[in-house]
Structure 1
Amino acid sequence: MKKHLKLLLASLAIFAFVSCSSNDDDQNFDLLGVWESTVSDTNSVSTFNLVFGESNTGLTINSVVNGELEISSINTFRWELKGITVTLEDIDTDDKVYTLNTEGQLVLMTSDNQTVILDKVSDDYAKYY
């Protein structure tokens, strides 16, 4: 009986260690995709997109539509995810640290104390690469 108890305890210990995983596993999975923030006024619509791709690559896409005129820009960046903090690297801006909130949104507090909230609009980032 003692032998069976030891075997059972050893099996449970092995199972516990094998089934435990790092909290960082698959965090990138939720981040990968297209995130968007849109601001409208009477004359124009401004859209800001962050596209997070594999291998920690990404794109920022800014567009402003004013009547029939559309102005767009695109820039590349690398990104790093630590816990709920997303940092954009290799990009020329002061506003590069985002936080994932409990509602599943990306939140940026800009250098001029504005809050930008981005919602995930698609898991499919492939059309941007």
Structure 2
Amino acid sequence: HFAAFSTSWVNAPQHWHIAMPSGEGGNHPISFCAKTRFWKAFVDENALRVTSGSNYLTEYQFGSGTIVHFFCRTCGVKPFGRGETADMGVFYAINIACLDDLMPDELLNAPVEYQDGRHDHWERQPAEIRHL
């Protein structure tokens, strides 16, 4: 089922519906995600629908261009990215911090899986995670 989430930043309301998995969220220490503290949850391509506010979103890509990063053009917050890999197919990485309806207890108890994106070893945790 879809859960409705909305965000509103500096007169730029956005609304989307996301079917959130019960699995873990993740953080990986490549420079972009580590520097922006992007705590994400993966969902498949049919699990996210932008229902309003798409005119506030802009895109950014770098490196191999595997991931399309979506940003609010008004405030710069990144609510999600879209990617495609051989292993996962098409997916979205949802920014957990943008889910307004999550309660602090839910965030505190959410399982976290770290990925070593800095060394392209996405299947394992980096040796050091205390700074993440």
TM-score computed with the length of structure 2 as normaliser: 0.27
Greater relative contact order (CA < 8 Å, ≥ 6 in sequence): 2
TM-score computed with the length of structure 1 as normaliser: 0.27
Please tell me whether Structure 1 or Structure 2 has the larger radius of gyration of its CA atoms: 1
**Which structure has the highest helix share of the two?**
1
**Which structure has the highest strand share of the two?**
1
